[in-house]
């Protein structure tokens, strides 16, 4: 949901039981080094000066865990076999990798009418950084750009958008309506709670269309439904969206970081439980 992670910026694949480099992310440490190439086979993975781990027979998921790590600036050493059979040890320093494909983008469609187009792959937010990326703010910036170009209408493309942050979708809907409820949630023993847009300002009041398909889910459906219920825009696309009406919270399984026994960030990431709390 943050749209970024710490690592070397390489996508792995499994090929006949071997772990190989599939794609290098432009601008990432692996790409900048110029030493790692697509189709290189990863034989061993080492953390700094520590003894490298032979990853023969490993799944790509487990290999990714070893490569990605948790800290910016830490070193990972990859022993790789080239296509020509030569073996080389490549040292890389982990950095933050931004997944540009995650973030909102806009374009202008010129035809009989000048129309603005905004593509939003997911409702993202960085929960750990108050100054991090937020989809509502990014969409607002794209709208400002399109308004400066005097577009006659805006299309928001939520096709394939599986959802994301509930507070962000409420803020984003608020860019197009004055104020009011966006959706209602209810826990097992809670009273129904209204998520409301409380900001009376409207960033864009012109013609609006929202595109959806059968993979538009969760926050995408909340946004499209609010725009439709307020008669603020026209929803086009599939006859039915995904149909997800539940709210989840991700809870980390790692021991509390304030416990000195578990304060070592290089320890294995135990992942998260995604728990359904509301409908």
Q: What residues are labeled active site?
A: 218, 229, 244
Kind plus residue range of the DSSP H or E element containing 248: strand 247-252
Please give the DSSP secondary-structure letter assigned to residue 44: E
Q: Residue 20: how many CB atoms within 10 A of its CB? A: 18
* 3-state secondary structure (DSSP) of residue 211: strand
- Say how far apart CA 106 and CA 72 lie, in whole Å: 31
- Say how far apart CA 50 and CA 262 lie, in whole Å: 20
Which sign, positive or negative, has the C-alpha torsion 237, 240, 246, 252? negative
- Say how far apart CA 204 and CA 178 lie, in whole Å: 10
Phi, psi of 105 (to 5 degrees): -135, 155
Answer for the pair 120, 157: CB distance below 8 angstroms, yes or no.
yes
- Say how far apart CA 279 and CA 187 lie, in whole Å: 6
């Amino acid at each position: 949901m943050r749209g970024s992670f710490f690592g070397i910026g390489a996508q792995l694949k499994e090929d006949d039981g071997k772990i190989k480099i599939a794609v290098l992310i432009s601008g990432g440490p692996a790409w900048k080094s110029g030493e790692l190439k697509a189709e290189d086979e990863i034989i061993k993975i080492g953390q700094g000066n520590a003894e490298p781990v032979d990853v023969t027979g490993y799944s790509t998921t487990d290999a990714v865990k070893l490569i990605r790590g948790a800290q910016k600036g830490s070193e990972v050493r990859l022993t790789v076999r080239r296509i020509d059979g030569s073996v080389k040890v490549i040292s890389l320093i982990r950095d933050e990798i931004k997944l540009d494909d995650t973030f909102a983008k806009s374009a202008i469609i010129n035809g009989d009418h000048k129309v603005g187009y905004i593509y939003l792959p997911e409702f993202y937010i960085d929960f750990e950084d108050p100054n991090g990326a937020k989809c509502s703010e990014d969409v607002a910036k794209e709208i400002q750009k399109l308004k400066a170009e005097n577009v006659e209408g805006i299309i928001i493309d939520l096709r394939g958008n599986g959802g994301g942050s509930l507070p962000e979708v409420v803020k984003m809907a608020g860019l197009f309506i004055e104020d009011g409820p966006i959706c209602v949630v209810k826990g097992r023993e809670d009273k129904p709670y209204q998520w409301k847009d409380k900001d009376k300002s409207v960033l864009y009041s012109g013609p609006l269309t929202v595109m959806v398909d059968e993979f538009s889910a969760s926050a995408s459906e909340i946004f499209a439904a609010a725009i439709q219920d307020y008669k603020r825009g026209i929803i086009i696309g599939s006859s039915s969206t995904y149909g997800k009406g539940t709210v989840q919270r991700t809870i980390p399984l790692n021991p509390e970081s304030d416990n000195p026994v578990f304060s070592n960030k290089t320890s294995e990431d135990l992942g998260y439980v995604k728990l359904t709390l509301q409908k």
